[in-house]
Structure 1
Amino acid sequence: MCHTNPSIQDIANLCYDKFKSLPKTGKPSANQWTVLACVVEHNRQTRYSRVVALGCGTKCIGYTRQCPKGFILNDSHAEVLARRAFLRYLYHEMKHDRIFHWEAKRGSFDLSEHVEYHFFSSQTPCGDACIVDESIERGDDQRAKRQRLDENSEMVYTGGKLIAGQVSEAMTSSDDMHQTPGALRTKPGRGVRTLSMSCSDKLARWSVLGVQGALIDSLLSKPIYFSTLNFCCSEAHQESLERAIYKRWQGRVSKNTRFQPQQPQIRIDGGLPFEYSQRGDWQPSPNGLVWSHVPDDLRPYEISVNGKRQGVTKKKLGSAQAALAVSKFKLFLNFLNLQQSHAELREKSQRNLPDLEQMTYASCKDLCEDYQQSWRQLKREYFLQWTCKPNELLNFTSKVE
C-alpha cells in the first residue's frame, strides 16, 4: 500500500501485488499470457491508495453467442472486466456511506471530494491506440501523410476490426484489421464477428460520459472520470494513446454541461512489465479473472470462461447460476437492490417507478435521460460508427424463470 500521491510506479506495484495476492486458480499456466487492468482509488487527503477493481482477459464472444438474459459477458478484455468490477464496487460502497454521502436536496450520491481514480493496464488497449502514425513521427506534412495512407503503403496492425462504412477505397474487405489512425473499431477475434467496440473506443467514451455507466449515473451528482491512465508496456506510444483517448475528438463541444470531454494524464513506463505479458511463443490464457474490493462473503474473486462463471455444470449454463457478479444481469440486480434498500431511493422509486421489478434493463437505462441524451449526441458527433446491439439483448428483467 502506498500513502503518497501515486506515481505510475506506485500504481503498477499496487496492481501487481494485488494480482499476486489472488488465488492461483484461473491464472495463466506455463506458456500462457494475459492482460491485467485495474482501477486504483486514491484519497488526496490521507494520501492512501488501494486497488478496488481488477480484471484479466483477452477474449470476446461473437454476436451469435450473446445472451438475451444478460447472463453472459460479451466482452472479457481486461479493461472491460476491470471497469465492470469497479461498477460492482461502486454499488457496494453506495450502501455503506464510506466514499459516498447522500445529498438529500439533489436526491443523489456525492463522491467524496478527496477521492480520485486511476486506471492501469499492462498492455496498450486494442484499436486506435495501437496505431503509430509514422508520418507524424517523421514530421511529414499532412498532404504527404494522407497520400501515403491512401496508397496503402503504411498499414499498421491495430488489434481491432474496422466497422462497415469506414473502409477506404484503397482497401478490400479483407483489410479490416489494417486501418488509418482515428477510426472506430470492434474487438479483434477469430470466427463470428463481435459487436463489442475496441478498448481504445471504450476508454474514449468513458473520458466523455464517465466510467460509471447509465444506471449508476442516475444515482450520482456527477460522472466519475479517471484522473490518469497508466500503461506499463514497452510498445505503448504516447501520441497514439492521446489520439485514441481524446485528441481525435478535440475541438468538438458537448452541449450537455454534465458530460464534458476530459483530457486525463496518460503515463507510460515500459520498465515495469507484467509477468504474464504477451509473448510470441505463448498462447493467450482462455480464462477471464475478475476481482472487486467487496467483502469475502460476497465472493470478490471470480473466473470466467467464454463469458460465463467457471465451474457451472452444463445443465446450468443457460441459467442465472452461470452469470458472473459483473454480468449485466447481476449488476442490474445490484441497481434494483440499492433502490429497495436505501430509504430515500426507495421512497423516490415508489413515487416514480412503482413497478420497478417489472421493468426491463433497457427501460431502466432509458430513464437516465441526461446520460442517454448525451450518448445519442456523442454517437452523432463523435462515435458515428458505434455498433448497436439488438434490442432483444437488453429486454430482460430481474425475474429468473
Structure 2
Amino acid sequence: MCDKNKPSVQDIAELCFEKFESLPKTGKPTENQWTILAGIVEFNRQTGSSQLVALGCGTKCIGQSKLCSQGLIVNDSHAEVLARRSFLRFLYEELKQERIFHWNSELKSYVMDEHVEFHFLSTQTPCGDACILDDGDPEEQAKRQRFDKESEIIYTGAKLISDLNYDPMRQTPGVLRTKPGRGERTLSMSCSDKIARWNVMGVQGALLDSLISKPIYFNSLNFCCDDAQLESLERAIYKRWEGRSFKHYRFQLQKPQIRIDCGIKFEFAQRPDWQPSPNGLVWSKISDDLRPYEISVNGKRQGVTKKKLNTHQAALAISKYNFFLNFLDLLKSKTLLCEMLDINLSDLDHITYSSCKDLAKEYQLAWRHIKDQYFLQWTKKPNELLNFTSNPNK
C-alpha cells in the first residue's frame, strides 16, 4: 500500500481557485465586491491523486423570522457552510455511484474507501472564536474591547449567546457564538463553532450518518488569509474542549492538521473599501445534468419568479428539503436500508424530516451527550421547522 505526499495548502488552493475561475460570471462578485471562498478536496493516499469535490462562496445569514418550516431556505450562507453542504450533495451522489463507498452486508451500512481523505480550505478565518487572539492579559483584552466599542470594529463577526447585558461582540475567547445576520439575531452558530462540531460529530450530518459505518472528518483544515492565527484556530476547533469527559466508540474529538499560508491571495478577498457580495455560490463534483453549480440569494435559487418564490422550485439543491428527497431516494432504491432502519417502504411518502434524522440513533444520542460536555449553549431551532414531509405546500 502506497501513501504518497498529501496536497499542500497551495495545491488545495489552486484546485479551488481554478474551479472558481472556470464557473460562469453570473453570481460572482462584481467590481468592488468581496466574498469568502471555501472548498473541499478529496485525496487518495494510494494513488496520490487529488480532486476538488465541493466549493462554496458567501457571507450572508438570514434572521430568525425568515426561517422556513418546509426546509426550502438555506439559513446560513457563509462560505464554510455552503462548501460543507455542497460536499453533502457530492456524498449523496457517491453513495448512488458506489465509487468511494461500498455496501457492507455484515455491517449493514456503506463503508468508505480507507485510502480516501478530505481536506478543507477557506480564504478567511472562520467567524467566531477563531478570530480572537487570547493574549492572556486581562488589561490588554479590556483595552481591545474599549477600542472595539469606540471604533465600531467587529473582530469576530459573531455574537455571544450569553451575557447579553454586556457588549455581545466582546472578545471573550473560547465561548459559543451565533452569526449576527443583517440586524436581526440569527439561530445559526458561528463557523468556528460549526467546524468544532464537525470535528467531533463528523461533517456528514444525521441523515447520512444513519447510512454509513463511520463519521467523516476533515484530515486537514487550511487557511489562506493574513489574519489567521494558529493558536486561535487550534483553540476554536479543538483545544477549548480538551479535558472534557466524553468518550464514544464512534465519535471522537479530532486533532486535524491546521495549516496557514498567508502568501496565497484570493482575488475577491475582503477589503475595507469593498462591499460584501449579496450572492452565495455552490458547486459540487457531480454530473453536469444535475446542475452542479447554483447561485443563491437570501437562501434561495437566483432567478426564480416571484410566483414560485415560496415553492419547492425555489429551493437550492443543498437545502434541507432536497437533501431529504435524496435520502428518501436512497432508501427507495435499496430496500436493505429500509430493513436496517426498520422503516416500511410505504411510510416514506409521509414520514417527516425530523423522524428521519431520529433514525440516526447513535448520532442523536452522542450529540445530546456532546452538547452537555462541549456545546451546552448550542441554539435549538423550533420543532415546527423540522416536521415537513417530501410533499411541501400540500
TM-score calculated relative to the size of structure 1: 0.92
Counterpart position of 1:141: none
Q: CA RMSD in A?
A: 1.5
Counterpart position of 1:158: 156
Contact kept, 8 Å, 1:228 with 1:264, in 2: the verdict is yes
C-alpha separation between the residues in 1 aligned to 2:196 and 2:187? 17
Contact kept, 8 Å, 1:53 with 1:89, in 2: the verdict is yes
* Aligned partner letter, 1:358: H
Contact kept, 8 Å, 2:200 with 2:252, in 1: the verdict is yes
Contact kept, 8 Å, 2:109 with 2:213, in 1: the verdict is yes
**SS at 2:120 equivalent:** strand
Could you list the runs of 5+ residues in structure 1 that have no partner in the other structure? Answer: 136-144
1:323-355: CA deviation from partner (whole Å, max 9, x where unpaired):
000000000100000111124325545755651
**How far is the alpha carbon of 1:188 from its aligned partner?**
2.4
1:244-291: CA deviation from partner (whole Å, max 9, x where unpaired):
000000112323211000000000001001110000000000000000
Residues 295-334 of structure 1 correspond to what in structure 2 (within 5 A)? 295-334=287-326
Q: From 242, 265, 269, give the equivalent of 1:277.
A: 269
Alignment partner of 1:234 is 2:223: no
Could you list the runs of 5+ residues in structure 2 that have no partner in the other structure? Answer: 149-154
1:97-130: CA deviation from partner (whole Å, max 9, x where unpaired):
1000000011100000000000000000000000
C-alpha separation between the residues in 1 aligned to 2:315 and 2:374? 33
Counterpart position of 1:66: 67
Contact kept, 8 Å, 1:349 with 1:356, in 2: the verdict is no
Counterpart position of 1:120: 121
**SS at 1:244 equivalent:** helix
* Aligned partner letter, 2:130: A
Bigger drift between 294-303 and 17-26 goes to 17-26
Alignment partner of 1:372 is 2:372: no
Residues 49-198 of structure 1 correspond to what in structure 2 (within 5 A)? 49-135=50-136, 145-146=137-138, 149=141, 152-155=142-145, 157-163=155-161, 165-167=162-164, 172-173=165-166, 175-198=167-190
Contact kept, 8 Å, 1:249 with 1:382, in 2: the verdict is yes
Counterpart position of 2:256: 264
Contact kept, 8 Å, 1:95 with 1:342, in 2: the verdict is no
Contact kept, 8 Å, 2:246 with 2:373, in 1: the verdict is no
Residues 285-300 of structure 1 correspond to what in structure 2 (within 5 A)? 285-300=277-292
**How far is the alpha carbon of 1:56 from its aligned partner?**
0.2
**How far is the alpha carbon of 1:378 from its aligned partner?**
1.3
What is the identity percentage for the equivalent residue pairs of Structure 1 and Structure 2?
A: 66
Contact kept, 8 Å, 1:131 with 1:181, in 2: the verdict is yes
Contact kept, 8 Å, 1:339 with 1:349, in 2: the verdict is no
Counterpart position of 2:383: 391
**How far is the alpha carbon of 1:166 from its aligned partner?**
3.9
**How far is the alpha carbon of 1:201 from its aligned partner?**
0.1
C-alpha separation between the residues in 2 aligned to 1:236 and 1:148? 20
**How far is the alpha carbon of 1:356 from its aligned partner?**
2.2
* Aligned partner letter, 1:77: H
Q: 1:299 to 1:388 in 2, by over 3 A?
A: same
1:61-87: CA deviation from partner (whole Å, max 9, x where unpaired):
000001000000110000000000000
**SS at 1:110 equivalent:** strand
Counterpart position of 2:151: none
Q: 1:148 to 1:391 in 2, by over 3 A?
A: same
Q: 1:357 to 1:64 in 2, by over 3 A?
A: same
Runs of 4+ in 1 over 6 A off after TM superposition: none
Contact kept, 8 Å, 2:54 with 2:283, in 1: the verdict is yes
C-alpha separation between the residues in 2 aligned to 1:234 and 1:114? 33
C-alpha separation between the residues in 2 aligned to 1:283 and 1:347? 52
**How far is the alpha carbon of 1:11 from its aligned partner?**
0.7
TM-score calculated relative to the size of structure 2: 0.94
